[in-house]
Structure 1
């Protein structure tokens, strides 16, 4: 029997024996890890071409056999507690661990030097579902050994197999990170000149980065620098894996500075600006930048590098996924910053958003919702922006969605309309001309408290304009509905406040006063006044003046 085959047999029984050792537990765990690594390496070596005829391999196998016999003797003495002293045994265990580590490195050097070449190397079978942790750990360690000592083909296959198990079962991620040196090997592979190895390693690292508890392991081991180097000069597939990984890592703002320090912001902007870049790459790159701009200094740098015009251009993309990401980025970068909002508006942001909202264009419901939210966020604090919105026909677009939109976009359009009505008298007038008031009246009966209150508040502002008041009172049903809702015991106090405000504004017209007095609801209005509702008191007082005093005699006593 060859030294190589004998070594494998002794290794198998030695690993089994090591589990019976109860003393020096930490040291024996380290030795067992190294034995498993050596075992995987020797299995691969046995199946490499011409290994049996190679003197270097034979010599190494003989040396390994000697070390394994020494280790077996130490294991037996530890199991039997037949050693002469703890200090001496600890020293012997340290020596044997060093020898095992040396053998693993020698195997790796042989592959690197080309002494061994991968033929039909046998790969340890992947454990089945529900396998115990020891089996999973042995499989991962076997893959690690192949990544460390194998030729290019073996390394590639080991990475493919590793990605397969960690993507399928998250338990493997924890098991993998318990195996020494896995992270360092993976991060070294990120700088590999071999494209396939680089691509496969980014996929594995990206899986690890998806777990909050393991992100620190990656960043602590120095993952960010090689990931950014891939963005600068890696293949498209490697860049995709890298940028997905960075997106996950930068969800923690502590990592943002590290990305910036290694030139990541510039690399990401270059990707987003690249006309030839694939959407699978641009989308996540935009996502990373959106994470990074939470840091004020990074945000300023991004703006100085022309990111606003770049993202406005992306917001015009035919690809809706990129379009939505770009709009959300613009909304995020301008949030709470009037100067940046003005840049977005100046560089054509309003026209771009209006196009997405325009019903004439075939955009998805999600895109329209995102664009409406961006308009609300970006435009209503600027008089010039509101004017531009109205010039571009935004009021009519809102009216379309309030009348015909699906429920989600309809409620959003109502919210935006409410915000628009607060901006200026010109906006209130334009909304009145567009027919908003009858639609808002319909929403006063909505199930949603928020919808009822927004509609009532918007109406209360709009009827402050004489032209809008005239329109409102032309429909006799409007006054009756307001009084009916005011009488409802279920109606919330917030809406009642605005309903009373609307009625107070309308009572500047005598015909409205007569309608209210003759409505049959005056007794209920009096109850509200007696309950010390200030607007109700104001309303009853207005109705009890001049020629209406006789009609209300006895109802009101101030």
Structure 2
């Protein structure tokens, strides 16, 4: 009977192994929570205790996840919980001695704390291995924490982020995918979450993401690349510093080499942001990033899926040209013909990216500028401006800027541009282009006037002066000033001067523009320069005298402007003659 009663009591009142495991788990969680709270009161060895607290919080989150999954029956987990509980008990003892400052020596206590940190770190790794092996934290068991609403408190956000981090650390593949997707949703739309992550454990998250970039799971790799790009995209340099110090550049380059198209896009975006700091150029180069990006830009034309990678790749490489060794390497690897080929293509982003890259490559380097022009870069840029082409406004804007930067400092290159039909294109846009492209063409033509006398002669023959004269009446003060400056350069050529003076309207317009009431005082030096040039001709001087606007010049002369005085003196001499 006793035995039967004993058996009955045992079966009804003693907890089953599963229940016992659950109780051990709850006790371990409770003890750990108490230790975390207690650790905040410790004032000695603050760095050591911060590390211990971080490890305890990670362990605690992982065990809470296991509790939610009702996983106390797992024997490997149950065995580990017993060891963890022992370590926590030891830490509680250390905490009490630190609070009371009752330890025998600082060096001995530091050693004990280091040992505790090492044990906790080992437990975290063991726990992660157990979860991975038996799949305890899987998507079908996990409780889903809902994303906080718009007016969420900081504590709600912290709880949500800690839950996501736990899933990233110990979840199965599906859970990691979902956690990364949720992470991308919040960091991509609300910087408040980034700030919470920074306060919690940004470095831990970045290390996780860095590891995920090498995942065999394509979705995890893509989501991790997206997360890294979001963090790199914030302007705070500290965030990017954490990414770089965590070793993210090498795996990003591996994604560029072997990842999916989506993963490559986000990896290149990250590298573009990270290389804005020139100190990171060598890190990218050391891991083969320059070669990887150049290879993308050299991809076969028929591989249309990769076109969207080319523009961002150009901008990464543009960030690197400031390092002479890297610049020389790119040139040796055929960067110039490769990017000129992109200029000749039809993709807008590739055209813009390659034009900007080539400008940066040639900046302050006449030899490189010569190579670009020699390889056909100038001709390719002029073709983008062809009115018959389907080039976008942005492509043409970039082409104008690139032509000016690459060619306008050399008389020989300007002559090449003219032989390629550049003047005809400028005139077309000046006469028939819409306002935006007309302004670009006008500014480029104005700068071209200052390059050489041969250019001014060719522009005079082509018919640019009437167009510049029209812009003297523009609403914009800047445009009026540029037109006056361009005309003052054009009439320095005798042939152009004769053409200018044939039209009475031209002289009358210049004189009218000298009216102080018109607010053109900044233009006076260029307008007077035009009059000084044309007044060398007796015929032109007589036109000035009989224009009816000589009083405008006289007022300027009375105001002490020397060029105006000279013209007045010439006018007086003409009347006497």
Question: TM-score category by the smaller chain?
Answer: 0.7 to 0.9
RMSD between superposed Cα atoms in Å: 3.1
Corresponding residue of 1:204? 227
CA positional deviation for 1:29: 5.1
Residues 145-188 of structure 1 deviation map (CA, whole Å, 9 limit, x = unaligned): 33333333333333233223222322222332432632222222
Alpha-carbon distance in structure 2 between the residues aligned to 1:361 and 1:488:
45
Are 2:284 and 1:284 equivalent residues in the alignment? Answer: no
Alpha-carbon distance in structure 1 between the residues aligned to 2:35 and 2:93:
11
CA positional deviation for 1:293: 0.7
CA positional deviation for 1:265: 0.9
CA positional deviation for 1:549: 4.2
Of 240-249 and 37-46, more deviation after overlay is shown by 37-46
Are 2:195 and 1:174 equivalent residues in the alignment? Answer: yes
Alpha-carbon distance in structure 2 between the residues aligned to 1:143 and 1:183:
13
Alpha-carbon distance in structure 1 between the residues aligned to 2:114 and 2:149:
35
Secondary structure (helix, strand or coil) at the match of 2:514 reads helix
Are 2:102 and 1:85 equivalent residues in the alignment? Answer: yes
State TM-score, norm by structure 1: 0.88
CA positional deviation for 1:137: 3.2
What aligned pairs does 1:190-201 form with structure 2 within 5 A after superposition? Answer: 190-201=213-224
- 1:130–1:30 Cα change, 3 Å: farther
Alpha-carbon distance in structure 2 between the residues aligned to 1:115 and 1:414:
69
Alpha-carbon distance in structure 2 between the residues aligned to 1:127 and 1:431:
66
Residues 92-136 of structure 1 deviation map (CA, whole Å, 9 limit, x = unaligned): 877665554443222112134447473513145133334344443
Corresponding residue of 1:24? 42
Residues 1-58 of structure 1 deviation map (CA, whole Å, 9 limit, x = unaligned): 3323552366258537844665216466545433432233234435669x45532233
Which residue of 439, 447, 450 corresponds with 2:475?
A: 447
Corresponding residue of 2:366? 338
- 1:94–1:342 Cα change, 3 Å: closer
Q: Is the 8 A contact 2:69 2:142 kept in 1?
A: no
Corresponding residue of 2:8? none
Are 2:78 and 1:58 equivalent residues in the alignment? Answer: yes
Corresponding residue of 2:417? 389
Q: Is the 8 A contact 2:128 2:170 kept in 1?
A: yes
Alpha-carbon distance in structure 2 between the residues aligned to 1:132 and 1:457:
61
CA positional deviation for 1:272: 1.0
Alpha-carbon distance in structure 2 between the residues aligned to 1:364 and 1:409:
10
Corresponding residue of 1:272? 297
- 1:122–1:9 Cα change, 3 Å: farther
Alpha-carbon distance in structure 2 between the residues aligned to 1:84 and 1:295:
55
Corresponding residue of 1:214? 239
Q: Is the 8 A contact 1:195 1:235 kept in 2?
A: yes
- 1:12–1:158 Cα change, 3 Å: farther
Of 286-295 and 59-68, more deviation after overlay is shown by 59-68
Secondary structure (helix, strand or coil) at the match of 2:215 reads coil
Of 8-17 and 39-48, more deviation after overlay is shown by 8-17
Alpha-carbon distance in structure 2 between the residues aligned to 1:191 and 1:251:
24
Secondary structure (helix, strand or coil) at the match of 1:154 reads helix
Corresponding residue of 1:550? 576
- 1:124–1:101 Cα change, 3 Å: farther
Corresponding residue of 1:143? 164
Corresponding residue of 2:3? none
Corresponding residue of 1:240? 265
Secondary structure (helix, strand or coil) at the match of 2:576 reads coil
Q: Is the 8 A contact 1:268 1:285 kept in 2?
A: yes
Which residue of 130, 140, 158 corresponds with 1:110?
A: 130
Q: Is the 8 A contact 2:65 2:137 kept in 1?
A: no
Secondary structure (helix, strand or coil) at the match of 1:336 reads coil
Which residue of 247, 261, 285 corresponds with 1:260?
A: 285
Alpha-carbon distance in structure 1 between the residues aligned to 2:278 and 2:40:
45
Corresponding residue of 1:128? 149
What aligned pairs does 1:414-425 form with structure 2 within 5 A after superposition? Answer: 414-425=442-453
Q: Is the 8 A contact 2:232 2:240 kept in 1?
A: yes
CA positional deviation for 1:454: 1.6
CA positional deviation for 1:350: 1.9
- 1:133–1:68 Cα change, 3 Å: farther
Corresponding residue of 2:550? 522
Corresponding residue of 2:487? 459
Of 234-243 and 4-13, more deviation after overlay is shown by 4-13
- 1:487–1:174 Cα change, 3 Å: closer
Alpha-carbon distance in structure 2 between the residues aligned to 1:22 and 1:427:
77
- 1:296–1:98 Cα change, 3 Å: closer
- 1:464–1:34 Cα change, 3 Å: closer
- 1:402–1:9 Cα change, 3 Å: farther
Alpha-carbon distance in structure 2 between the residues aligned to 1:367 and 1:319:
9
Aligned residues: 545
Structure 1 gap segments, 5+ residues each: 552-558
CA positional deviation for 1:340: 1.5
Secondary structure (helix, strand or coil) at the match of 2:451 reads coil
Residues 410-460 of structure 1 deviation map (CA, whole Å, 9 limit, x = unaligned): 222222111222233332233223322122112112233322222112112
CA positional deviation for 1:550: 2.3
What aligned pairs does 1:331-410 form with structure 2 within 5 A after superposition? Answer: 331-410=359-438
Alpha-carbon distance in structure 2 between the residues aligned to 1:298 and 1:94:
44
Q: Is the 8 A contact 2:28 2:81 kept in 1?
A: no
- 1:93–1:141 Cα change, 3 Å: farther
CA positional deviation for 1:84: 8.0
Alpha-carbon distance in structure 2 between the residues aligned to 1:28 and 1:451:
67
Q: Is the 8 A contact 1:36 1:141 kept in 2?
A: no
Q: Is the 8 A contact 1:202 1:242 kept in 2?
A: yes
Alpha-carbon distance in structure 1 between the residues aligned to 2:101 and 2:411:
90
Which residue of 409, 413, 416 corresponds with 2:441?
A: 413
Of 63-72 and 186-195, more deviation after overlay is shown by 63-72
Structure 2 gap segments, 5+ residues each: 1-18
